[in-house]
């Protein structure tokens, strides 16, 4: 679940939105409405990816998706900032503005702080169990099929 919608991303990016997302249907014989739908679907994908990043970081501390009204405006802004980074990366050869880079860095710092409890999301239900499954392991040196004679 994205915390922001395509209309909000379109408003954030302004005229650049069309330059970035209209490339999604380039080379096709589709009408304008179909091309707009393809562009909006690509924008929705960027928003969903950004929301997944947010949820992935804060899920250690908060129940996701966060539905507390007090936090939704903040999460919407963070969602738009992270989606904006993804938007600019779609434009081949584009260098996105330093302002965007610095805003993204700030959002990611707040996300880490929120997960650590340094920054609190107002009204958000905490994940009391702190149950998050993350598995990372090296390849096994000894497997069952290698230990037959031992």
> How high is the pLDDT of residue 136?
47
Radius of gyration for the alpha carbons in the chain, expressed in angstroms and rounded = 20
Residue pLDDT tens, the chain, 150 long: 899 999 999 999 998 898 888 776 666 677 888 888 889 999 999 999 999 999 999 998 999 989 999 999 999 999 999 999 898 887 755 556 667 888 899 999 999 999 888 888 888 888 887 655 444 455 555 565 666 665
pTM of the model: 0.74
pLDDT of residue 141: 59
Identify the pLDDT of residue 67. Answer: 92
The predicted structure's pLDDT at residue 68: 94
Q: Is-contact 132 59, C-beta < 8 A?
A: yes
Q: Which residue has the tokens 């939704």?
A: 72
Place of tokens 């970035």: 20
pLDDT at site 47: 97
């Amino acid at each position: 679940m994205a915390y922001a919608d395509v209309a909000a991303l379109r408003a954030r990016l302004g005229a650049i939105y069309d330059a970035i997302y209209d490339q999604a249907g380039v080379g096709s014989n589709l009408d304008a409405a179909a091309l707009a739908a393809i562009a909006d679907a690509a924008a929705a994908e960027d928003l969903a990816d950004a929301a997944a990043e947010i949820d992935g970081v804060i899920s250690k501390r908060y129940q996701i998706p966060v539905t507390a009204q007090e936090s939704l405006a903040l999460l919407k802004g963070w969602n738009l900032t992270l989606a904006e980074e993804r938007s600019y990366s779609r434009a081949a050869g584009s260098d996105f503005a330093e302002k965007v880079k610095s805003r993204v860095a700030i959002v990611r710092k707040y996300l880490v702080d929120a997960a650590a409890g340094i920054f609190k999301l107002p009204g958000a239900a905490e994940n009391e169990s702190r149950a998050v499954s993350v598995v990372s392991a090296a390849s096994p040196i000894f497997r069952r099929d290698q230990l037959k004679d031992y």
